[in-house]
Structure 1
Amino acid sequence: MNREYRILTTRISINSQRQFLLKHGKFVARWLTKDEIVREYQDLTILNEFREKFQYGFSIISEENEIDPFENLIQVQSNRYKFFDVNEYIPGAVYCDCKDFQLMSCRTYGCENWKRGVECTAACPMEYDCMNRPLQSTSNEAYLEVFKTKQYNWGVKSRIGFFRNHFIAEYKGMIKSNNDETVSSVYSMDLGKTTVVDASSFCNAMRFLNHSCLPNSYSSLRAVDGQWRLGIYALRDICSHEEITIDYGKNYAQNPEICYCQAPNCAGIIGGKKEFEIEPKKWREPFDEMTRFFERFFLRKALGNNSYLIRWSYH
């Protein structure tokens, strides 16, 4: 029996097949199905060991012990500042003319502030129709829930859903210089040209965002009262209780970690090169295999001879 290979991670391919990222010696890792592994290695021992481990979960947190995810962390309502670059130009808000042009809201490139990456002020002529002040006026943090996931330590989800491009929450922490040696390589995000927001000690629930090669949210810098702030927005419609994920980006590949997002375009490592891209708004998160089996079975029964009409999209 050949036991030289090892399984790094797994994903559900675009045609709903379970694939495994197999590494054999010094060869480049390959995505293979179970049948392909059987044909090449005639040994499922290692594969079954991985599947059992994956099913149980890779988390190091004990099921029996309830641990506070914010233990040894300081939850903040707003950013703390250790560094503020007075030389960096940050655009300020102007009185937009959206009302004169009868725009529906200021959340459009017709708004002078919006297209400059600036939030309007409370004195905006559009008043309640402005919609370009989420970082100042919207707080969804009461709906956010930090939960234990199987493949990671923690993740974050919301008890309410979000429409595409809608504001979810702000990524909060300690504002530091990007030259500060104490900046976390894991929990920091760029904030302008010279600063970062470091959520390694001071943070909110957004600290627990997990990576996905096919995320459902994205980050966007907005200028608010002369300061850069980082908002997290929905990349597509997000259902309630769905895990909120973000793409950590290529820089994260400097310290590669195995990725367990299971997206069909999963790179295998966080920040790695994806084999192909998928339009996020056309993608929905997959059910587990058993749910998909029953869905397919009952849909075929309902369609009868017209089963060829089935077009699969993940839910």
Structure 2
Amino acid sequence: MSDMIAPESPQAFPTGRRAAGGLGDRIFHVVTATCAVIVLALIAGIAVSLVIGAWPALSKFGFGFLLSSEWNPVTDTFGALVAIFGTLVSSALAMVIAVPVSFGIALFITELSPAWLRRPISTAIELLAAIPSIIYGMWGLFVFAPFLSDYVQPWLNGAFGDLPVFGYLFSGPPIGIGVFTAALVLAIMVIPFITAVMRDTFEVVPAVLKESSYALGATTWEVVRSVILPFTKTGVIGGIMLGLGRALGETMAVTFVIGNSHSIPNGLFYPGNSIAATLANEFTEASGGLYTSALIALGLVLFVITLIVLVLARLLLMQLSSQEGR
């Protein structure tokens, strides 16, 4: 037995196998690096093509393109302020609604739900994520918007209409379509994505950490706040960014319910517009070169907004990582 070669000994592996393994590692490294370079090249290509297509509009309107609310194809006068405003407001309101709901659902599935109920809820969440966006838009227009117009918007207007800030937000005709409806539909659409990511990240928390906290007398909320969230903050923020990216770039569902009005809404109940909805509605009708260039410039603005959001998320993660152990 003493003459046998230990499994971990280098002599246990023939020289040819070690060489083949080293060659395989090099090939794997080259392949993965090539894939990463291809992704960067695609992103750079998209950015360059957008800049080239948007250059006629950018060179004519300059920085004022971002600050102008006028959109008139007849006179070739274009501004992106209305579309930017609608995109940011509807996406922000959708995230305000979706993040707490998604967190509660994911926490219930992983920590509070009975074992027999976890699978049906998880399956329902996955089915919601699989529904096409145009179905959400049709449902929002024909079912959700009339319900809001008849019951929710009149109540909100009557309850908050006299307050200084909320009266402005919840003002407008209760017609069912507008920025408020678009934000609610977006929230319903992104909840499954955020919930699925949070659920998966919560499930990877080692059971010994949670059991130790419970043994020390911690409540469920204390375990969530002091153990689960610090351990899974990267995945949680990643899920939120995934939902935000979906909300920023959503097209058909928003087009159905936002109202498609080229004016700054005076309240959440008024019709508005978004970058994606503007592109979906008008790109096929763009006849002139400047008109098409202005639409491509809107796409470039949406690309930059998404890039800024991702950079801010990365900076937030770096800041949280730097504070670990303090």
- TM norm. shorter chain > 0.5: no
Structure with a larger share of its residues in strand: 1
Larger Rg over CA atoms = 2
Between structures 1 and 2, the one with greater helix share? 2
| TM-score, length of structure 2 as denominator length | 0.21
| Larger RCO: 1 or 2 (CA < 8 Å, sep 6+) | 2
